[in-house]
Structure 1
Amino acid sequence: MNPLQEETFYQQFSNQRVPKPTYQRRTYLCYQLKPHEGSVIAKVCLQNQEKRHAEICFIDDIKSRQLDPSQKFEITCYVTWSPCPTCAKKLIAFVNDHPHISLRLFASRLYFHWRQKYKRELRHLQESEISLAVMSYLEFKDCWEKFVDHKGRPFQPWNKLKQYSESIGRRLQRISVEVGLLSKREIGIFPQKKKNEYKERPFYSTAPRKKCI
């Protein structure tokens, strides 16, 4: 495994607002693979490539391992941004095609969480066999210890980590409820609400990501 540098971890995984001068936050994905009953067999750090998102690199990497379908495996992923709609669909399809793999996905931040298309796919992830949650102090600390070249230094939480984590977690819960209500209105169960009633303002600075292929 090529571990993350300390500066990279703090810049890319931080759930704070982007400070000035701003820098581009990329998608980093760190995963741990282990049998259901057994020790860790792989720890890998991935990031977006020119035409491939980190989630697609992750799927390809797992497929290349040709895991025994008769054996249960558990994968824990720590990712800087929640998946885009295309990657979310591919992750769901991957898990559905590999029922012997259990996937837990922890995101530091929600990507374009105010856009309806992105909200919908986050809801689909929650409804799938994938366990989706927002990273808390425990996940940040675990990610630091397992995937960062920290040279024995302990994880130092940044200011208001807990508050930001709880805020993002509540936002994810609201998305689940909101998208469910919107789906019901689409089929006529509820009357239509006024335009933009459910629109949220962006909370984090984001950089456009290239479309998945």
Structure 2
Amino acid sequence: MTSVGDDFSCSSLLPRERFPAFFFKFQFRNVEYSSGRNKTFLCYIVETQGKESGSFRGYLEDEHAAAHAEAAFFNNILPTCEPNLRYNITWYVSSSPCVPCAELIAQILQKNKNLRLSILVSRLFMWEEPEMQAALKKLKAAGCKLKIMKPQDFEYIWQNFVEQEEGEAKAFEPWEDIQENFLYYEEKLSEDFSTAGQVNAFL
């Protein structure tokens, strides 16, 4: 059994299965300027292959001033990796990881070769900063796949992680600029890595 998150401070964040539609519509909206969005929402799916094959899902949220959801996942949801299992993990996150979280994830992936992680993000966090670009390159080098959410990814979150409240439309209703903003962030991700020859690993 390999410890995943012992080197990092533990978080008291607790996993849950679904969150209110209001938070989805505000926190996951792929706007260019994310003013007022001081939380990170992380929806996860964990699939294991081996003697104990199975899957489970849930979500975490944090305040930026507290422990981050990415660290909480490895401390609370997957604190250890069984060496005889393969882990395929998918995250749907309201924003891409900050520098410390990106470096943390890269270290964990390097230590646990039986762990595969794909991260789909609504927005890019501080994508213009050189330190952020370098941290995302470390993620790629460690085997992480980072992608911008397409409209159908938001629909998947709506169907699988959002509470269907009374009076709410059951079907996902895309906002007006969802496709335009997806293309905007996809272009920024391409610009950040094309000069370094890294773009194909992220798209």
State the Cα distance separating 1:109 from its structure 2 match: 0.4
State the Cα distance separating 1:61 from its structure 2 match: 2.0
Instruction: Report the equivalent of 2:124.
Output: 110
State the Cα distance separating 1:53 from its structure 2 match: 1.2
Aligned residue for 1:3, secondary structure, equals: coil
CA contact (8 A) 2:39 2:64 kept: no
Aligned residue for 1:27, secondary structure, equals: strand
Q: Higher strand proportion, which one?
A: 2
Instruction: Report the equivalent of 2:22.
Output: 7
Instruction: Report the equivalent of 2:36.
Output: 23
User: Which of 33, 47, 51 is the equivalent residue of 2:46?
Assistant: 33
Instruction: Report the equivalent of 1:43.
Output: 58
Relative to structure 1, the CA distance from residue 84 to residue 18 in structure 2 (aligned partners, 3 Å threshold; closer, same or farther) is: closer
Aligned structure 1 segments of 4 or more residues deviating by more than 4 angstroms: none
Between the aligned partners of 2:24 and 2:100, the Cα distance in structure 1 is: 25
Instruction: Report the equivalent of 1:85.
Output: 99
CA contact (8 A) 2:39 2:61 kept: no
Instruction: Report the equivalent of 1:124.
Output: 138
CA contact (8 A) 2:46 2:88 kept: yes
Between the aligned partners of 2:131 and 2:49, the Cα distance in structure 1 is: 34
State the Cα distance separating 1:96 from its structure 2 match: 1.3
State the Cα distance separating 1:18 from its structure 2 match: 5.2
Between the aligned partners of 1:39 and 1:138, the Cα distance in structure 2 is: 25
Between the aligned partners of 1:46 and 1:164, the Cα distance in structure 2 is: 23
Between the aligned partners of 1:68 and 1:128, the Cα distance in structure 2 is: 19
**1:167 counterpart = 2:184:** yes
Between the aligned partners of 1:113 and 1:98, the Cα distance in structure 2 is: 27
Relative to structure 1, the CA distance from residue 36 to residue 48 in structure 2 (aligned partners, 3 Å threshold; closer, same or farther) is: farther
Between the aligned partners of 1:71 and 1:164, the Cα distance in structure 2 is: 38
What is the root-mean-square deviation in Å for CA atoms of aligned residues?
2.2
How big is each residue's C-alpha offset from its partner over 1:16-69, in whole Å with a ceiling of 9 and x where there is no partner? 2459xx6334211111111247542232333236431111111212343x3422
Instruction: Report the equivalent of 2:75.
Output: 60
Instruction: After superposing the two structures, state which structure 1 stretch, 120-129 or 83-92, moved more.
Output: 120-129
Percent of pairs identical after alignment? 22
Relative to structure 1, the CA distance from residue 106 to residue 10 in structure 2 (aligned partners, 3 Å threshold; closer, same or farther) is: same
Relative to structure 1, the CA distance from residue 82 to residue 141 in structure 2 (aligned partners, 3 Å threshold; closer, same or farther) is: same
CA contact (8 A) 1:28 1:48 kept: no
Instruction: After superposing the two structures, state which structure 1 stretch, 6-15 or 92-101, moved more.
Output: 92-101
Larger radius of gyration: 1
Instruction: Report the equivalent of 2:159.
Output: 145
- One-letter identity of the residue aligned with 1:129: G
TM-score (norm 1): 0.75
The number of equivalent residue pairs is 177
State the Cα distance separating 1:126 from its structure 2 match: 2.6
- Which blocks of at least 5 consecutive residues in structure 2 are unaligned? 1-15, 198-203
